[in-house]
Structures are given as C-alpha cells and as structure tokens.
Amino acid sequence: MWHPDPDQLALAALPAEQRDPGVEEHLRGCPLCRGHVESLRRTVDLAVAGGAGADDEFPPERIWTAITGELGVVDPPRRRRWLVPALVAVVALLAGLTAGWLLGAAPPAERPLAVLAAVDGTGATGTAALVERDGTREIVVRVEGVIAAPDVDYLEAWLMDASGTGMLSLGALARDGGGYAGEFTVPADLPTDRFPTLDVSAERFDGVPAHSRESLVRGTVG
C-alpha cells in the first residue's frame, strides 16, 4: 500500500483551507496513517494555542521562502494567514518525527491471498492478504457492503476444507469504518492446501462455537 511521505503527513496535521486530495483519500482508507495524523494534530493544537490573530502580518517573502525551502514544502497561496513561528517550528518537528515513524512503524507489505465474493446474494465483498510481521504470519481480512440481520452480533473468519465440513476459526472481525477488518496470527506451517477456502460468517452470542452456516463472503486461498 502507498503511504504519503513525511512532509505530506505533517502538513495534513496543520490547520489549512485546502488539503491534498490524494492524501485525504489515503487517510480515509488507512487507519494507521489517519491515527498518526490525528496525534500530530493534537500536538499542533497544543503548540499554537493562543497563536496568531486576524491582525498578524504575513512574513516578508524572503523569510517565507527560506522557511518553505527548509521544510521542502510548496509555498501556500498568499491569501492564507501567516503561520506563527511556533507553528513553523512544529512543522519541522513533525516532519522529522513522521519520517522516523514511517521508517519504524509503516505496515509491512501485504501479499494478496484471496478475493472474497458474496455468498447467496448477500452483496458483501472482501479481500484476504498474508503479512509477514516480526517473524510471524498474519492473515488480514477486510469485508465491505455487509447488510446483516438485526440479530447478528459479529462476523467471524474461518478457513474451510474442500468438503466444507472441516473448519478452523481465525477469529472475530471488528468494525473498521464502513466495513469490518481483522488481523489473525497463523502458524508458519499452517496447511493451507488442506483448508483452501476462506469464509466469513454472521454469528450470534448464542454459546455455540460452531459455524452458523450463514456465510457472507467466501474465496479460494491462493
């Protein structure tokens, strides 16, 4: 998955009239980057509390050019109000912090594992991917377009054998924006050839651990 560079994430944390549409679109779909930007915004709010007012002057052109050149950002339109010195310092700090965060905490690459199609006209869709993280293997499952019955309590991911009777529960999916998502650690020697199907079912808190037989999406692991 593409992630914005440190300057873009740092600038997304600043109060501004216009934002980069590509970055905004990415933030809507990436909880990791979105959470980081929200954290940076809280830092900005603390740094500029009681900052510039309506009468503050825009800095001389040579000063603004030096600031933007140092930060490596594009000079915003003149109609924007001058950022107070404290905010400029915060931008530089955030850019550095974000660079370190991206290098140290950016999510590892996902290898597509399956495309999940709707079962019996449920209208839901999904994907599954395999991630190698810190020496462990994780299956990442995402499902969208779920219109579940009112009595459905949660969604659960399963690996299923060719007969559809042998199953391994991966775990429950959590709400993620308008859909559901889950990350499940699996053994390195998991015999996916014996369990070639990934299934997501609608479940209830009824004390029955078995599959409900109400599948929403399903796909072949490959």
CATH number (domain holding residue 190): 2.60.40
Q: Is 88 in the same domain as 114?
A: no
Q: Is 92 in the same domain as 192?
A: no
3-state secondary structure of 119: coil
| Backbone φ, ψ for residue 21 (5° rounding) | -60, -35
Instruction: Return d(Cα 123, Cα 125) in angstroms, integer.
Output: 7
- Contact assessment for residue 197 and residue 95, using Cβ atoms and an 8 Å cutoff: no
Q: Is 94 in the same domain as 192?
A: no
Residue 134 confidence (pLDDT): 76
Domain count, the chain: 2
pLDDT one digit per residue (tens) for the chain, 222 residues: 567 776 677 777 776 546 678 888 878 877 777 777 777 777 666 655 544 444 444 444 544 454 455 445 555 544 344 444 545 555 555 555 555 555 555 556 778 889 999 999 889 999 999 988 778 889 999 999 998 788 899 999 999 999 988 999 999 999 888 899 999 998 888 887 899 999 999 999 999 999 999 999 999 986
Could you tell me if residue 38 is inside a domain? yes
**Cα separation values, 179 from 7, 141, 143, Å:** 29, 11, 6
Q: Is 98 in the same domain as 24?
A: yes
Report which secondary-structure segment, H or E, holds 136. Answer: strand 136-144
Residues 6+ apart with CB under 8 A from 95: 6, 7, 10, 71, 72
Could you tell me if residue 215 is inside a domain? yes
3-state secondary structure of 189: coil
Q: Is 128 in the same domain as 154?
A: yes
Write down which residue in 75, 105, 135 finishes a domain.
Answer: 105
Could you tell me if residue 19 is inside a domain? yes
Angle of helix 85-105 relative to helix 61-71, nearest 10 degrees, comes to 10
Could you tell me if residue 125 is inside a domain? yes
Q: Is 77 in the same domain as 117?
A: no
Write down which residue in 46, 81, 105 finishes a domain.
Answer: 105
| Residue with tokens 């859909």, as numbered in its chain | 179
Could you tell me if residue 98 is inside a domain? yes
Which domain, by its residues, includes 44? 6-105
How far is C-alpha 112 from the chain's CA centre?
A: 16
Q: Is 28 in the same domain as 90?
A: yes
Could you tell me if residue 77 is inside a domain? yes
Could you tell me if residue 124 is inside a domain? yes
What is the pTM for the complete model shown? 0.54
Question: Which amino acid appears at position 161 of this protein?
Answer: D
Cβ-count burial 121-130 (b if 16+ within 10 Å, e if not): ebebbbbbbb
As a residue count, the chain comes to: 222
